[in-house]
Amino acid sequence: MTSKSDRTLDITQEVCPLTFVKAKLAVERIAPGEVLEIRLRGDEPLENVPRSLTDLGHEILSLEPDPADPAGGVHVLRVRKADA
């Protein structure tokens, strides 16, 4: 993760479809161009959250394993909100 995020959201304890709903609401609350960092876990969120946010026009900057999670399984998604 190379650059700063403006906000952070942890949805590691959520299940689909709440993972996307919470991510979408968090993106809606930030200004265009800001970056949201989302911590997520599980196959469905790893596939569905980035795809759905891209479908809404937002830019996925990165999706990487969380180095702070030694057991693995948690990933960090960084997304830039699209311009209005």
- As annotated, the active-site residues are 16
Are residues 78 and 50 in contact, defined by beta-carbon separation less than 8 angstroms?
no
Which residue from 68, 58, 63 is spatially nearest to 35, judged by alpha carbons?
58
Give the whole-angstrom CA distance, residue 62 versus residue 1: 7
